Structure 1
Amino acid sequence: MDLEIRNIDDLRAKIALLKIKKQEDEIYLNQKYISVKEKLTSPFSFVKNLFISNRSFSQPSSPLKADFVTSLGRILIPLFLNKTILRNRGFLFKTIVSLISQKTINSSVFNKDVLSNWIDKATGFVKSKTKKEKRYGIDDYGIPPESETA
């Protein structure tokens, strides 16, 4: 592989070849360095991006004033999640989920109107008809419509 250097032209060609090889090696090592650096810093940049307020994600384009339901939701929803869904999770996981939920709750997503709609749907689901209301209708006078009266 190594060429024998017999004269000055061979020496100059070998020097030029080694300079090109040096540049190629520098480019390769620089690319590897950048690749390894990105792999090592990607988890940190992900967490950093979660906590930096991104206008398109955390805030609507026209800022709305937060009512008391939104303010309470920012406090109570993370507590509710920690007591129910995230019961046996680690402290770090609970903290991250709490911070994310506080960032995502804004007045356009969670306000009095949205809460009242949720409550109406829940009460409509819980308040179901009894067997008699399902079978005979709401107006039940005690006499079934199929019976004969004497």
Structure 2
Amino acid sequence: MAELHLEISRVKIDYQLKETRLKEDTKSYIKQFSPLNLIKDFLNPQSLRKLDEKTNLSGSIMSLILPMFLNKTIFRSSGLITKALAALVSGKVGKSLDVESLTGLFSKAKSLFSSFTSKRKKADVNFVDYGIPPDSETY
């Protein structure tokens, strides 16, 4: 009789352990397919580069956006033929752009602007005027 009660308690404990393990596995499985986790999985830089290598999505987008941008800004007051030629050339250039070239251009532009602002800040910091004229003996 004692062995039977011992076996029943062992089965109950085993059942409870399996239940908690199943709950934990279910939570981790559901968390795996949450919208935030899916966004993290599919919209990271590595997956976007792989997608772009297969489909050249960035080139297609740039071939559409670049002609519109140029016609609205640089060639605003140009004639129809000039706008058409600019759209043709910029569309071809946009198709040839890929993720690496776009990120390279972006990083160069960012470094150019950051170096310009850092030089300007350094120039402002180095000059301190205490109100003493340069030809003074205390200068």
Considering only CA atoms, is the larger Rg found in Structure 1 or Structure 2? Answer: 1
**Structure number having the greater helix percentage:** 2
Report which structure shows greater RCO (CA 8 Å, sep ≥6): 1
Tell whether the structures are fold-level matches, with TM greater than 0.5: no
TM-score, normalization: structure 1? 0.40
